[in-house]
Amino acid sequence: MDTAKTQEVTDRVYEDFEPYHESDRDEGRFTVMLPGYRRDQLKVQVTSKPALKLMGERLIVGNRWRRFSLEFPIPSEYDTDDVTATFEGGRLSIKFGKLIKPKETTTAPPEEAPMPQEPSQKVAEQKTAQESPKAKQDTEAARTNEVSEQKTPQKTAQEDVPEAKQDKEEPRTDEVSEQKTLQKEVKESTAEMEKSKTEKAASTERVTEKSRLIA
């Protein structure tokens, strides 16, 4: 009986074909269309490459057989320990789970040291050099006006000094005139007193003479 089976396998004539297939990498799914095949006529393997290997064969008539063999590389993000296969209505579907990768930590580039700032005076000189000739003239004119405005108040203050001096001298003049008037009055009063004394002395002499006459 075993000899008969061996003879039957030896007498088989195989027709190789490539069935329609497609893959969806995002979902981790492989699909193969195998109309006319049964579940027991199919074989699914995950090799160590890693790769997905699909095989199948079925009898057509007499000693004629039809077979196929497909192999798909398995992406590195697929989990080969998490695989499921379903076969319904002549459609073989194999689905892989995806590996959960740790989040990559990005190292921030080192910050560049700030460039040393130029002194403000140098910056101002550069800006002045970049100004147009007209703007430069306007700046010089404005500076000249500021200088003249600063000088004018000083001049006015100097002009006010003589007036203040005159105001100070006027009271002094009045004091001198008052002193002179007082001195004049004193002199006049002294003269009148002397005159009165003289008149009184003369009157006394006349009275004396009169007394003498009477005696």
CATH of the domain at 88: 2.60.40.790
Long-range Cβ contacts of 208-211 (<8 Å, 24+ apart): none
Could you tell me if residue 214 is inside a domain? no
Task: Give me the number of domains the chain comprises.
Answer: 2
On whether both 132 and 61 belong to a single domain, the answer is: no
pLDDT band at 204 (very low <50, low <70, confident <90, very high): low
On whether both 65 and 27 belong to a single domain, the answer is: yes
Could you tell me if residue 192 is inside a domain? no
d(C-alpha 126, C-alpha 118), whole Å:
11
- Per-residue pLDDT, averaged over 64-78, amounts to 94
The mean predicted confidence, pLDDT, of the chain is 75
Q: Range of 93's domain?
A: 2-98
Could you tell me if residue 108 is inside a domain? no
Could you tell me if residue 90 is inside a domain? yes
pLDDT band at 207 (very low <50, low <70, confident <90, very high): very low
pLDDT in tens, 122-136: 555 666 556 555 555
d(C-alpha 68, C-alpha 44), whole Å:
12
Q: Which pair of tokens denotes residue 207?
A: 């009275």
Could you tell me if residue 73 is inside a domain? yes
d(C-alpha 161, C-alpha 169), whole Å:
12
CB 97 within 8 A of CB 83: yes
Is the pTM value of this prediction over 0.75? no
On whether both 16 and 83 belong to a single domain, the answer is: yes
